[in-house]
A and B are shown apart, each in its own frame.
Chain A
Amino acid sequence: MTDALAARLLMGLSLAFHIVFAAAGIAMPLFMVIAEWRYRRTGETVWLSLAKAWSKGAAVLFAVGAVGGTVLSFELGLLWPGFMQFSGSIIGVPFSLEGFAFFTEAIFLGIYLYGWERVSPRLHLGAGVIVAVSGAVSGLLVLMVNGWQHAPAGFEVANGQAVNINPFAAMFNPAWPHIALHMSIAAYQTIAAAMMGIHGIMLLRDRSNLFHRKAFAFALTATLITGVLQPLAGDFSAKQVAQLQPAKLAAMEGQFKTEQGAPLRIGGIPNPNTQETPLAIEIPGLLSWLAFGDTGATVIGLEAFPRADWPPVLLVHLAFQIMVGSAFVMLGVAGLGAVLAWRRRRLPDSRWYLWLAALAAPFGLLALETGWVVTELGRQPWIIQDIMRTLDAVTPMTNLGVPLVSFALIYVALAVITVWVLTYQVLHSPRIAPGHAPAA
């Protein structure tokens, strides 16, 4: 394995690990603070139990996310010194602001977690709101930096150096709105689906526990709302990518030829050598319509780009198919739950539906990871689209297989322990009897 590949794998591994915890750091605080707000409004102690239980999960996920994020902020320089040297002063501003947002989140999470008995109810709820808002803002700022890699703006290049730098133009680059919107919804969606599965499994064990009934209803609703919003955000993303990164769109769709009225391909195995995508179900004109709002519009194929500038077509296309498919699985299961709930006027708690919900849950994580693979592999071979190649940014350090293997082992260990700790928490969640009277 070359050192450059090891560097890419290490970065990819660190991000694939971190993205789950980052999503939890964005979504869990919102869910816990909504639960606490419901408790303060209604006085129903089940909401208080939920707020406390979810905040404990948030604490673990946030802490592991924080150390993972620390690793990433260093790895940017350790693995990609060329990238950081070029772009540090262009996109450092949102990173610095993110530092403050993260700081705020850490401070108020401390107050939230340890302050139940120490601060007034109003300050406690307020602290929770601040955690939820700063978590979302911190994600937004990181995504602005990421957007800049896809649609670099706010500088000119002269003799290999960036000149005429405008950090605000870089921050508000053309790609930030769709990346931030799509990924932020994905954070809430992934966590909502995971919670739907976890509380669904617990209901299979004991269908009368009010704690898990409320939690399941909440998670199902959140999965439904995000499940409806996400395809709209995804459609917006596709239209933006068609404009900003046509090679990425072509790779996502396995579109080798530039053609008018391009079909949407469902499935299929793109082959870069034959430049064909066999085994796909093709819906004529739909790709042109989705990308440009016109079934006859011209979609640029990969043939328009030098072969050296192609993203890895097979991986990007497959990851894209899996992401879209996962989204429809989650939407379908949550939508079915909504129909059942509406027709029966009660929580859809039949065993088969709880099983279905449990099986749908991992698709959130799958969509999160594959969607991120589409975004970042679709940008290759560029670390900054059309400006700097990934291979030109890599560290001169050798033997990168050593940190790669070390961190792989660390991440596996952390993932296993985190799952174990969370399982312990879930198995020790409270038992609240159905007829439980609300506290006065």
Chain B
Amino acid sequence: MNTLLFDLPSLVAGSIMVAMTFYALLGGADFGSGVWDLLASGPRARQQRELIAHAIGPIWEANHVWLIAAIVILFTGFPLAFAEISTALFIPLMLMLVGIVARGSAFVFRAYGSQTDSVRQVYGTVFAIASVVTPIFLGIIVGSISSGRIVVVDGAVRTDFFDAWLGAFPFAMGALTLCLFALLAAVYLAIEADSAHDEALREDFRRRALIAAIVTGGVAWISLFFIRQDAPVLYAGFVERPWTLATVGLSMVLGVGTIAALLKRRFYVARLTVVLQVICVMWTWAFAQYPYLVLPNLTIQQAAGPEITLQIAVVALVAGGLILFPSLFLLYRVFKGRKVFALIDAPAGNQTGARGA
């Protein structure tokens, strides 16, 4: 507890968190885009949906590999935790998988299949509904891992398959995950519309981002109350480390910053603050839970596989990262234009027109 992340198991656990963070920031925004597809409305509903399909077309496939990466690192490094989580959370995991399957296949069928409107509409509806349902279950799963109900007795999980996840805190986490993803997507999409020089569409997504930011704030406040009552061990983790309260505060400040940036139409600033907000929330949660992998009684050390496997895993992760990150950079550079990694607003009128098509 005194030394954070300096031992091998913690390093591997940290890499799972890194993968999950990328999944939230990239894959999460894809889910959020699906939410806005479902909620597309007003005179430009069709254009909103087209912008969404256009924005995520080339990249969604890669964005969703982060989840697979997190899972394989989990079962390589912490096979015991993978077995416990899979057993106790069988039902929400299965439901999440149904969502993932429905969403991914509906999206690609819509892109490459028959072009009649009625058929595309069916695919679109499946895509949009699955985009809403999947993040909720993802949040429920994460919330369950932290709520302290996955009890391991004699190396085996004790569960009736419902008590681990049917609770206020897991469901609050489900709602929060959905809201954060929708917020991320709305901000990204506002930038996409801006790059395409479509002001009306940009304003649509700015309004949606503002609503999402406010709702996310509200849901975050509500879930804070549930922590104490419904996830006492996690709560103790916060109390034990007073600085985590400071980072909770920081995430609130960032949330307010996002709203302010959106009000002033500083979209790149809004993207920076919303990304930092998601990182802040996720890593505060991770540190509050440390050194437990699954609350209340499975620590990272206990769940860790043998040292040799962890060593090889770390080498593999570094080597893989050396291939992965330049490739990802190329992907985003090709499809998201020169300003893809811009953190502040560049002078106007100097766009690359990446969305021109």
Contacts and interface: CB of A to CB of B under 8 A. Distances in A.
Nearest 9 A-B pairs (CB), nearest first? Answer: A92-B76, A88-B79, A89-B305, A77-B86, A100-B320, A63-B108, A81-B83, A114-B58, A85-B83
A168 B105 CA distance: 36
Contacts of A417: 105, 109, 113
B72 A92 contact: yes
Interface stretch (B34-42, B59-67, B199-207): B59-67
A5 interface: no
B17 to A, nearest CB: 16
Contacts of A315: none
Interface string B68-89: 1101110111111011111100
Contact of A70 (B64, B75, B78, B108): B64
A104 B97 contact: no
B75 A76 contact: yes
B80 A85 contact: yes
Contacts of B330: 107, 111
A28 to B, nearest CB: 13
Interface stretch (B174-182, B286-294, B308-316, B342-350): B308-316
A77 B82 contact: yes
Interface stretch (B222-230, B263-271, B321-329): B321-329
Given A59-B112, A92-B309, A84 B82 contact: yes
Contacts of A88: 75-76, 78-79, 82-83, 305
B71 A97 contact: no
Contact of A99 (B72, B100, B306): B72
Contacts of B331: 107-108, 110-111
Given A92-B79, A108-B327, A118-B335, 15 more contacts: A67-B101, A69-B68, A70-B100, A77-B87, A89-B76, A92-B76, A93-B76, A96-B76, A102-B65, A103-B327, A107-B62, A110-B59, A403-B94, A417-B109, A417-B113
A390 interface: no
A100 to B, nearest CB: 4
Nearest to A89: B305
Given A88-B82, A89-B77, A93-B76, A63 B104 contact: yes
Contacts of B79: 84-89, 92
A426 to B, nearest CB: 12
A114 B102 CA distance: 23
Nearest to B101: A67
Interface residues of A, number: 67
B324 A103 contact: yes
A66 interface: yes
Nearest to A76: B75
A281 to B, nearest CB: 45
7 contacts: A66-B61, A77-B83, A93-B313, A166-B308, A167-B308, A395-B86, A424-B113
A115 interface: yes
A82 B68 CA distance: 20
Given A70-B68, A85-B79, A395-B86, A93 B112 contact: no
Contact of B90 (A56, A100, A104, A397): A397
B71 A74 contact: yes
A142 B316 CA distance: 16
A104 B327 contact: yes
Interface in B106-129: 107-109, 111-114
A210 interface: no
Interface in A98-134: 98-100, 102-104, 106-111, 113-115, 118-119
A104 B87 CA distance: 31
A383 to B, nearest CB: 14
B121 to A, nearest CB: 15
B57 interface: yes
Given A73-B72, A100-B323, A397-B87, A109 B100 contact: no
A60 interface: yes
A84 to B, nearest CB: 5
B235 to A, nearest CB: 28
A421 interface: yes
Residue from B67, B79, B98 having most chain A Cβ neighbours under 10 A: B79
A103 B76 contact: no
Contacts of B102: 410
A87 B79 CA distance: 8
A305 interface: no
A74 B324 CA distance: 23
A310 interface: no
B95 to A, nearest CB: 10
Contacts of A86: 79
Interface of B: 57-59, 61-62, 64-65, 67-69, 71-73, 75-80, 82-87, 90, 93-94, 97-98, 100-105, 107-109, 111-114, 161, 305-306, 308-309, 312-313, 316-317, 320, 323-324, 327-328, 330-331, 334-335
Nearest to A78: B86
A109 B61 contact: yes
A81 B87 contact: yes
Contact of B83 (A84, A97, A104, A167): A84
B150 to A, nearest CB: 13
A108 B161 CA distance: 40
Contacts of A280: none
Contacts of A71: 97, 100-101
Contacts of B90: 78, 395, 397
B317 A110 contact: no
Contacts of B313: 92-93, 96
Nearest to B59: A110
A176 interface: no
Nearest to A69: B68
A32 interface: no
Contacts of B324: 100, 103-104, 107
Given A66-B104, A114-B335, A99 B327 contact: no
A218 interface: no
B77 A414 contact: no
Given A92-B79, A417-B105, A421-B112, A113 B305 contact: no
A78 B94 contact: yes
A397 B161 CA distance: 7
Contacts of A420: 113-114
Contacts of B114: 420-421, 424
A74 B309 contact: no
A275 interface: no
B73 A96 contact: yes
A395 B93 CA distance: 14
Nearest to B159: A396
Contacts of B84: 81
Contacts of B59: 110
A64 B87 contact: no
Contacts of B112: 56, 59-60, 421, 425
A271 B107 CA distance: 48
B232 to A, nearest CB: 27
Interface in A45-87: 56, 59-60, 62-64, 66-71, 73-78, 81-82, 84-87
B209 to A, nearest CB: 25
